[in-house]
Amino acid sequence: MFIEVDNCHETPEELADKLEKYARFLRRKVKDTDGRERPMWRTRWTASDTWTGDQTHPPILLVFNKLGERNPDITVAKLSEPTSHLWRGRRNKGYHDYDGKIPIIATGLGNLTEHGPDGPVFLRFGRHRMQPLREAIGNPRREAADAREEEEWRVRQEEHRAQLRKAAREQAAKKAVEAAREQAQREASRPVCAGCGSRFTDERWEAAEETDWGVPVDTHPTLCDSCKHEAVAADQQEQPESLPDWAQRKRFLRYTRRPRCSECKAAFTDER
């Protein structure tokens, strides 16, 4: 903060000229250590921009000490209008935007001595009531508007997340219904054993339907595992004994339905 103490000897025009010099000083730019051009005052004092990106300037505090003949109240009234281009903000949704402007605040030394910086003895140019120092150099309406906007954004985000959760639940419920329908259709088409009437297991169903090239078809595709096992055992018991070697030679099997001997099971010769 720059502090300008006036003993009520200077005219409003002289004070206005001083404020113009402050403005020219704040507009000066130099190359910083990183080679980038910045306002010179920022290379000497620490002052961060607001989170909204406003390029704030250090405030100027005019402290009037009633020693001379001039009335501070009249001086402030005459000083505010010719310097309005330095401090006047832009109206924006219930608050003023002071981007690039200089906060100019006036107070009296007597009031400052009596109430201190926390007392409502500071008048910022453009405002119509006394405020404590921090409120005078700040922008309470902007902060309130930003807080409301942030809260509205938070509410919108929460509503959006709630909609996403609802859509996810509906999608999950839809998938569950579709999965249940597909499972019901699958169970309805599951084969039933022709022997005992029980339904096939998934493994037995897959084995019974195996028909790819080079893969043998199941020998009993209509039976479950237990009934198939019993059927295979019965088939093996009914299988006739193998023929002698001499009877298996191709010259005796020229005819596919060659008669066999009822005693020894040998195939008939051509002469027989």
Across the chain, which has 272 residues, the per-10-residue mean pLDDT values are 91 93 92 86 75 70 90 89 90 80 92 91 92 88 83 93 94 93 89 87 80 66 84 72 56 61 82 85
* Residues 43 and 104: beta-carbon distance below 8 Å: no
Residue 50: its pLDDT value, please? 56
The domains of the chain are located at 2-138, 139-189, 192-239, 244-272
CA distance 26 to 196: 99
Contact 127/84 with Cβ under 8 angstroms? no
Question: Which pLDDT score is estimated for 251?
Answer: 47
Residue 117: per-residue pLDDT: 87
Whole-prediction pTM:
0.55
The tokens 């019901």 sit on which residue? 184
Burial 169-182 (b: 16+ CB within 10 A, else e): eeeeeeeeeeeeee
